[in-house]
């Protein structure tokens, strides 16, 4: 029973990833990825050694927030009928 539930959950996630994303969330994905990339660039050792401590800490949060925002926004769907098929 547990195996079947996990399979259904994975199938729903795959359907959501493949479904069309609304325009607002497409922009949110782009913004999230941009924030994540900027944070990743700030974490890079050569850059991080020249930054103040608070910017080094913020850059880690930027990566996390940016990538989680993009991932959650990607799972939104325009039409829920796609998930019922």
Model pLDDT, residue 1: 58
* Position 81 confidence tier, pLDDT thresholds 50, 70, 90: low
Residue 2: inside a domain: no
Q: What is the average per-residue pLDDT within 28-50?
A: 91
Distance, in Å, from the CA atom of 44 to the CA atom of 81, rounded to the nearest integer, reads 43
**Token digits of residue 10:** 């994975």
Residue 55: inside a domain: yes
Distance, in Å, from the CA atom of 66 to the CA atom of 68, rounded to the nearest integer, reads 6
pTM for the structure as a whole: 0.76
Distance, in Å, from the CA atom of 33 to the CA atom of 63, rounded to the nearest integer, reads 8
Residue 59: inside a domain: yes
Task: Check residues 34 and 14 and name the one with the higher pLDDT.
Answer: 34
Total structural domains in the chain?
1
Residue 14: inside a domain: no
Portion of the chain with pLDDT greater than 70, in percent = 87
| Domain membership of residue 63 as a residue range | 20-78
Q: What is the average per-residue pLDDT within 65-73?
A: 94
């Amino acid at each position: 029973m547990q195996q079947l539930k996990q399979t259904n959950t994975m199938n729903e996630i795959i359907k959501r990833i493949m479904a069309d994303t609304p325009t607002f969330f497409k922009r949110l994905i782009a913004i999230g990825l941009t924030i994540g990339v900027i944070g990743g660039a700030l974490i890079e050792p050569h850059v991080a050694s020249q930054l103040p401590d608070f910017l080094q800490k913020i850059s880690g949060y930027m990566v996390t927030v940016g990538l989680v925002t993009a991932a959650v926004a990607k799972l939104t769907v325009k039409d829920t009928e796609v998930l019922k098929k």
